[in-house]
Amino acid sequence: MGNINNLKLAQRGAYLSIFTYIILAVLKYYFGVEYDSAAVRADALNNMTDIFASLAVLIGLKISIRPPDDNHPYGHLKSENIASLVVSFIIIFVGLQVLMENVPAVFSPAEQAPNPVVIYVSIFSGLVMLAVFFINRKLAEKTKSTSLKSASMDNFSDSMISLGTAAGLILTQLGLPIADVIIASILGLLIMYTGLKILKDAVFALSDGYNDADLIEHKEDVLEVNGVLDVKSIKGRYHGSSIFLDVTIIVDPDISITDAHMICDRVEEHMHDKGIMSLYVHPEPKLHE
């Protein structure tokens, strides 16, 4: 029940990101068109992809809280990963579009620098996203939501992109108008990189990949339980922001089945306290040498 409440609470962060991105995307695209800044237009398109990414997080969180059914005995937690996969393609496409629009312009740049007002728009946007990052990071720590944690890091990168755009636009005011389309092209590459990273993480989770370092940490946590002599095997799966583990533990061969079952119960309780949602524990006796 606590995990469900956390998923519901994490939705607030997704709503905050969506609301902020919509406002900033419209603001930046208007000023980018009105004052002829390719970099600011590219940054606006970046925020538009972020709207879809935040929507995916929100939809994934909403579907994830559905209880298990006959067709989904493990629940609907992987819906976050599926939504992320779809969003990654959208982000990659937008990044490619930004590149196709601006790379040719590098070889025939505008002779006039954009209006200085776009610098203030970019600085304002960067500071707003920095505030959203701090709010969502704190909420992700409270709810232990990995999807919201990823979203908060996306908030931070967007803040740095906007501030970087402002720094580059300052160069256009110093007699380097070509800096505008160069920045836009770099933003296109960054957008594609973000999409490819989300794609890689989504495919890794959906193919039941699991981080070796996390497995080592989980093994050490299991060994903390009284009565566990060793961990014979441990396997993990990511289901959205939740973790499922299958563990085989070694116990004293001279204890009763009831005692072995109690040790398994202690392992489950201990690992639930560590943030593991679902755990299957199988005991095996230690072989006499």
Read off the tokens for 3. 């995990």
Q: What is the pLDDT of residue 3?
A: 59
Residue 106 and residue 176: Cα distance in Å, rounded? 12
Read off the tokens for 273. 């306290």
Residue 33 and residue 21: Cα distance in Å, rounded? 18
Q: Which CATH class is domain 212-285?
A: alpha beta
Closest to 77 in 3D by CA, of 201, 244, 212, 209: 244
Tokens 């501030």 sit on residue: 163
Q: What is the pLDDT of residue 1?
A: 47
pTM above 0.85, yes or no: no
Residue 254 exposed, middle or buried by CB count within 10 Å (0-12, 13-18, 19+): exposed
Contact call for residues 198 and 49 (beta carbons, < 8 A): no
Closest to 196 in 3D by CA, of 92, 80, 44: 92
Residue 62 and residue 11: Cα distance in Å, rounded? 8
Q: What is the pLDDT of residue 196?
A: 87
Contact call for residues 47 and 25 (beta carbons, < 8 A): yes
| The CATH number of domain 2-206, selected from 1.20.1510.10, 1.10.10.10, 1.20.120.790, 3.40.50.1010 | 1.20.1510.10
Q: What is the pLDDT of residue 120?
A: 92
Q: What is the pLDDT of residue 181?
A: 77
Domain ranges of the chain: 2-206, 212-285
Read off the tokens for 282. 């199988």
Strands (DSSP E) found in the chain: 230-239, 242-251, 278-285
Helices 38-64 and 146-173 cross at an angle (nearest 10°) of 170
- The parts of the chain modelled with pLDDT lower than 50 are 1-2
Residue 41 and residue 28: Cα distance in Å, rounded? 6
Contact call for residues 154 and 53 (beta carbons, < 8 A): yes
CB atoms within 10 A of CB 108: 8
Q: What is the pLDDT of residue 271?
A: 92
Strands 242-251, 230-239: pairing kind:
antiparallel
Residue 252 and residue 231: Cα distance in Å, rounded? 13
